[in-house]
């Protein structure tokens, strides 16, 4: 996206001018309309022209903010991701892992985010700019969460030393996305349970079960 912080009226902490507020209002309308269209007919049939028509915002105005349809869709994704709260601590690491996995599974199967991800993944994989934005925000955020979780678990003596947080992230999330994108196998809580149950021995310091 061209301006990551245009929606909130400028850089964090700055007082928004009237011009910025105006910008933010139209941007909100565009994002909401786009989300509605995505929910209705999916990513494949999302067009800038339709967003313009439905939102009442001129096509040229939309193009002033988003270079492409993908740019716009990614903005919606990031916008929605802002609502996702960070994970609370739990008594033991296995519970924390289960919560992390279950949240992702739930997000991908019971909200718009799953559909958006499905439609956007090819563009993220191909478009360098898009990929950069996605990684710097979403991927980085996930890795940070997992890093904290791993450090906590290691300090507790539950996890083995020297675990690579990046690899752990791959192991936790990869299977979820694999089902979402390719295999089509069910994405439900039972899967989340099995996933963590299967993985925990690989992470645990004392692999008793």
Partner DNA sequence: TAATATTGAAACGCAACGTAGCGTTTTATA
Partner DNA sequence: TATAAAACGCTACGTTGCGTTTCAATATTA
Residues that bind DNA (CB under 7 A): 17-23, 25-27, 45, 47-50, 56-61, 63-65, 67-69
Alpha carbon separation from 53 to 60, 78, 178 (Å, rounded): 12, 23, 35
Cβ of residue 35: shortest distance to DNA, in angstroms? 16
Q: Taking the CB of residue 21, how many other CB atoms lie within 10 A of it?
A: 11
3-state helix/strand/coil string of 45-58: CCCHHHHHHHHCCC
Contact 187, 108 (CB under 8 A): yes
Query: According to the binding rule CB under 8 A, does residue 94 interact with its own copies?
Result: no
Query: According to the binding rule CB under 8 A, does residue 135 interact with its own copies?
Result: yes
Contact 96, 90 (CB under 8 A): yes
Query: According to the binding rule CB under 8 A, does residue 107 interact with its own copies?
Result: no
- Contacting residue, 46, 55, 173, 192, with its own copies by CB under 8 A: 173
User: What SS3 state is found at 158?
Assistant: coil
Cβ of residue 48: shortest distance to its own copies, in angstroms? 17
Cβ of residue 44: shortest distance to DNA, in angstroms? 10
Query: According to the binding rule CB under 8 A, does residue 166 interact with its own copies?
Result: yes
Query: According to the binding rule CB under 8 A, does residue 78 interact with its own copies?
Result: no
Phi, psi of 186 (to 5 degrees): -60, 140
**Of residues 133, 132, 1, the one with CA closest to residue 66:** 1
For its own copies, the binding residues (CB under 8 A) are 42-44, 118-126, 131, 134-135, 139, 164, 166-167, 169-171, 173-185, 194-195, 198-202, 207
């Amino acid at each position: 996206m061209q301006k990551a912080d245009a929606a909130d009226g400028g850089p964090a902490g700055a007082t928004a001018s009237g011009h910025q507020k105006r910008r933010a209002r139209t941007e909100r309308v565009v994002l909401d309309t786009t989300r509605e269209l995505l929910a209705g007919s999916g990513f494949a049939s999302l067009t800038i022209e339709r967003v313009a028509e439905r939102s009442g915002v001129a096509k040229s105005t939309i193009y002033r903010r988003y270079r492409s349809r993908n740019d716009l869709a990614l903005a919606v994704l990031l916008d929605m991701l802002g609502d996702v709260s960070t994970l609370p601590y739990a008594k033991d690491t296995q519970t924390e892992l289960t919560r992390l996995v279950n949240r992702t599974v739930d997000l991908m199967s019971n909200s718009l985010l799953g559909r958006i991800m499905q439609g956007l993944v090819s563009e993220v994989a191909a478009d360098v700019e898009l990929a950069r934005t996605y990684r710097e925000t979403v991927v980085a955020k996930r890795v940070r969460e997992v890093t904290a979780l791993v450090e906590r678990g290691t300090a507790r003596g539950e996890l083995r030393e020297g675990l690579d947080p990046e690899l752990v992230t791959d192991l936790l999330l990869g299977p979820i996305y694999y089902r979402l994108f390719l295999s089509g196998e069910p994405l439900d809580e039972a899967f989340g349970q099995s996933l963590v149950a299967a993985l925990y021995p690989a992470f645990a310091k004392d692999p008793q079960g």
